[in-house]
A and B are shown apart, each in its own frame.
Chain A
Amino acid sequence: MAVYESMSTRTKPRSRTLERIGRTIPGILFLTPAVVAFLLLRYYPLIRGLLMSLYRWDVANPPGTYVGVQNFVLTIRSEVFRILLINTFALYAFGLLCGFWVPIVQSLLLSELRLGHYVYRFLYVLPVAVPGIASLMVWKYIWHPQAGLANAVMQGLGLPTQLWLSDPQLVKLTLRLPGLLGGGMGILIYLAAIQNISVETIEAAIMDGASAPQRAWYIVLPSILPIVGILFVLSLTGSLLTFDDVWIMTAGGPGYASTTLVMGVYQRAFVQNQFGIGSAWAVVILVMTLILTLGRLYTMREERM
């Protein structure tokens, strides 16, 4: 015991410094790969993007001519930008109309099931396991004007057939209609939230004579509302970035009817070679998402307090 004490008192000051060093070096080593990756692949492109937006960027001979905020002025004044912004929000609105509420209802229904609960949940989520491109392709086939199932159903119901994805009026709704089928991650999130409701609350409600539909409406639904709110705001932020699915289905067509903001960036940069203007668009999108994200973080902090 005495030996131990004397040793520890003797080695303590040195061991602390040693420990510092012994922990600093591995700390640096452990962090370095990630820090380098983030600096090179996140921070550098971000700053360079901001820089590009201030130039009439010359790809062959960068940076080209400095034009100040001219690219931003052009962007905000541009008719195309306005159309694409409207398209993006219209797609979001149709998404709310056709898709957003579906997993909520599905998970409320599913939460009542006991027998086969896991099977139902697995089947609801299974479509997520299939690569996005695969299900998008099926939908492209279903919407095919001549051979698609959608028009076969329309014919069967005695309704006029439609051009669906080729119809400028209809394309945005058509892109979001599959949302009605629901399923996917949303269900899992809502189910998890429903499971977090305490059994006591539910049992108390039963004792008070609340029927199952009443419990669903007055207890379950209100208690998952915060999660609904979070997903709602997340989907709003995400909607500004809509690209992949629409690109695969319509490539933005017909005309500009389903072109989104991100596609605008793509077209400016990679089709028209206007890297400066494209970067200005990207910066505008960045600022909009930042405003939405910071707004969300701010309101969430308010709620927590």
Chain B
Amino acid sequence: MDRTDAGLPQGESITGLRGPSTIELSWQDKTYRTVCYILSTLWVAFTMFPLFWLLTSTFKDPVDIMKMPPDFVPQVPLVYTVQLDYTGVSLPEGLTIEQAIREDMAIATWRVPDWLANIRLGAIRAEAYLDGRKVAETFLPSHQFGWYRGRIWASQRLSDSLVRRELDTALFPIEFDMDLEGGLTRANAGEANEFTAQVAELFGTQLMTTGNPVAVSARRYWPALINNFIGAWRAPARLAPGMTFAGYLSNSLKITLSDILLQWLVSGMAAYALSRILTPRFSRIWTIFFLITMMVPGVATLIPMYELVGKLGLHDKLLGVIIPAIPGAFTIYLFKGFFDALPGDIFDSARIDGASEFSIFFRLVLPMSKNVFTVIGLLTFLSSWNNFFWPYLVLRSPRVWTFTIAIYMAMGGSGAAGTQYGNAMASAVMASLPTVLVFALFSRSIQQGMVWSGLKG
């Protein structure tokens, strides 16, 4: 059963390159081949470059993403440690030492990143000391303050006193360990660098704390390399409480799987009827009825379709994306070409045996047509998964967004572009993993399908 018989355009053989490899090559041919290797290698490297750039950039700190000239290898972000000493400080009236430490920790962790928005900051740690013992510690990785960095704080909306009030809200989570009696184990603090002095300078000038700032130090913090991923994973919660990036992915997945199933079922059955059930005359009429719609571009039906989806009450629903994708003229064409090429005797003998058309289709045709079902499934997967415009038009509220809309929105936000680029690129990498995986697994079928669909009219 050769697919080239299936009434499809020529040139779909994806088997290895046939060529006169047995013939001895002349020196010119060898030179030419070498040149081809060199040029192909360079060109492949160029073609792959955007992917490389996407991948490396997702590991960069937002500050490095906006750096000029950019780094080719992401640098490891640093964790800055601020040490505050409470030995012998006089507490303001009505404030216990616990409260004072708590407030200072909040100021140190939330306001330092805000004031120094140009530092590659993987995390910030504040430590409180009392009589030489470490009594409290708080730690804030940058994906938590990432989005707020340089936004809310720089606008002076939140002063130190506001920070104190906001302490317990979910917006600025502060988690910390405190043990006033015993003492906590000390972490390896690190060393001074050009920015530690800047951080130290903030205390006493911009940031008023009860405790005395004693030392600021920095050291490498490897986990911060995946901050963009964590940030991107959690970012949807800002728009729809409790949602993670998985929500967008699952919306995309629901649409994609429904599209595949419907294409298989609706187009497959229709093509089977055209190919094997109807009389030639009817078959021709209905084939034209289906295939002629390939000539009508989507834009011609865009406005009425939007209106129709609204009338059906499907705006802002996943079904509003799934249902308009049901008519697939090209898949009918592919299916029909394939079914036409199946040997007719099988159908005749099955019918003589009294099999109904349904059982012929599901028991006989399906198992024989794994190839074409796979190719159509994969083509539908790629186009549905990556679909942007129609979902963007129909799905308005964040809860039903597909990942493509989410990435587009993350890119589109003006200002603080660095943060957003980091998030958007990390989202893009996460959303690419399924397609790259499918592509690697089904490379052959996909390439086959691409040749077919690339030549469609």
Contact = CB atoms under 8 A, between A and B. Distances in A.
Contacts of B48: 123, 126-127
Contacts of A128: 382, 439, 450
Interface in B272-299: 272-274, 277-278, 282, 286, 289-290, 293, 295-299
B357 A126 contact: no
A90 interface: no
Contacts of B407: 133-134, 137
A82 interface: no
B454 A189 contact: yes
Interface string B37-75: 101110110111111011001000000011111100000
B90 interface: no
Given A30-B270, A131-B428, A185-B450, A42 B357 contact: no
A40 B293 CA distance: 12
Interface string B426-455: 001101100110111001001100110111
B388 to A, nearest CB: 6
B69 A155 contact: yes
B278 A27 contact: yes
Contacts of A118: 16
A30 B365 CA distance: 14
Contact of B50 (A151, A152, A181, A186): A181
Nearest to A211: B28
B273 A129 contact: no
A130 interface: yes
A91 to B, nearest CB: 16
Interface string A273-288: 0010011001101100
Contact of A120 (B44, B424, B438): B44
A104 B298 CA distance: 29
Given A188-B447, A231-B454, A113 B36 contact: yes
A29 B329 CA distance: 18
B309 to A, nearest CB: 9
A124 to B, nearest CB: 6
B432 to A, nearest CB: 5
B184 interface: no
Interface string B134-156: 00000000000000000000000
Contacts of B37: 113
B350 to A, nearest CB: 13
A206 B11 contact: no
B17 A33 contact: no
A279 B300 CA distance: 8
Contacts of B302: 265-266, 269, 282
Contacts of B1: none
B91 interface: no
Nearest to A294: B295
A45 B308 contact: yes
A140 B69 CA distance: 16
Contacts of A135: 50-51, 54
Contacts of B36: 109-110, 112-113
B13 A31 contact: no
Interface string A166-182: 00000000000010111
Given A147-B65, A199-B18, A241-B299, A27 B386 contact: no
B326 interface: yes
A61 interface: no
B293 A38 contact: yes
A37 to B, nearest CB: 4
A106 B301 contact: no
B361 A243 contact: no
B32 interface: yes
Contacts of B299: 241, 243, 262, 265, 282, 285-286
A47 B229 CA distance: 47
Interface stretch (B19-27, B80-88, B99-107, B195-203): B19-27
A140 B446 CA distance: 28
Nearest to A224: B11
A285 B304 contact: no
A33 B303 contact: no
Contact of A124 (B32, B47, B272, B277): B47
A45 B304 contact: yes
B265 interface: yes
B374 to A, nearest CB: 16
Contact of A265 (B303, B404, B431): B303
Given A49-B300, A52-B304, A117-B17, A26 B46 contact: no
Nearest to B358: A26
Contacts of B15: 195
Nearest to A59: B307
A67 interface: no
A207 B141 CA distance: 70
Nearest to B269: A30
B261 interface: no
A44 B439 CA distance: 36
B29 interface: yes
A93 interface: no
A261 to B, nearest CB: 8
A279 B432 CA distance: 35
Given A52-B304, A134-B432, A231-B454, A141 B408 contact: no
Nearest to A195: B13
Contact of B357 (A23, A134, A195): A23
B304 A137 contact: no
Contacts of A183: 44, 47
CB-based closest 4 A-B pairs: A34-B270, A26-B357, A134-B428, A129-B439
Given A147-B68, A152-B68, A234-B457, 20 more contacts: A23-B357, A26-B358, A33-B266, A43-B293, A44-B308, A49-B304, A114-B21, A117-B17, A127-B50, A134-B54, A134-B428, A134-B429, A142-B53, A147-B66, A178-B50, A182-B46, A189-B11, A195-B15, A244-B388, A286-B299
18 contacts: A26-B357, A31-B274, A41-B308, A114-B19, A120-B41, A125-B450, A129-B435, A130-B428, A137-B407, A139-B50, A155-B68, A206-B23, A213-B32, A248-B388, A270-B393, A282-B299, A286-B300, A296-B457
